[in-house]
Amino acid sequence: MKKKYLLLLFFLLIGNVPNVNSESIKSEGWYDVNKLYLNNGFTEISEAMKKAENFFGENIELPTRLPPIIFTHMLGKFESNKEFSRLEITYLDENSGNVRYKISVLKASTEKEREKSPVVTEKIKSSDGIEIIHYKNNKNFDTFIINKKGIEYAFFIDKISFNKITIEGIVKIIDSME
């Protein structure tokens, strides 16, 4: 069980986001971010959410507030296999070719599984008492995980963007979930 959870956490942290910085694409002098992501299973966020809500049988709440970061694209993807099922919402900046902010939604893991995960940097409380677990275990992203109504939400903010937002800002984003 420990290996499965660590594998899931690794997959969430690294993800399978297409690499728009690919040298082959750059050398051709073009790339269409929409086409690249759409060819990798991404759709409009509302379409991906419908699939996830039907699969989970639950209403998925997303924040109405976003980090103060520039995004050119917001795309969603729902995938399900034997290991796990998740909804991924990706916000990226076409000009940099980088994912700036990402939300992954899956059925909540148990407290025992969470205890086996990498070191927690800190635990924070939202204004309505939800525990926010902050992981600083990835060189590219800071991760914030909450469990709300049996659904686990993982918020990933890239290190460059994280310098533009405070912990209080993250709490405000999570508090805006409806």
- Burial-class residue 155 by CB neighbours within 10 Å (0-12, 13-18, 19+): buried
Whether the full predicted model's pTM is greater than 0.85, yes or no, is no
Q: Which carries the bigger pLDDT value, residue 36 or residue 106?
A: 106
Of the chain, the percentage scoring pLDDT greater than 90 comes to 29
Q: Residue 44 pLDDT > 50, yes or no?
A: yes
For CA atoms 28, 102, 152, 44, the dihedral sign is negative
Number of structural domains found in the chain = 1
Q: Residue holding tokens 């969430």?
A: 12
Q: Which domain holds residue 138?
A: 2-175
Q: Tokens standing for 68?
A: 């103060």
Helix, strand, or coil (residue 116): coil
Tens digits of residue pLDDT in 137-167:
667 788 899 998 888 999 998 887 877 888 8
For CA atoms 116, 118, 122, 128, the dihedral sign is negative
Q: How many whole angstroms separate alpha carbon 133 and alpha carbon 130? A: 10
98 residue type, one letter: N
Residues whose CB falls within 8 Å of the CB of residue 82, separated by 6 or more in sequence, listed in order = none
Q: How many whole angstroms separate alpha carbon 170 and alpha carbon 105? A: 17
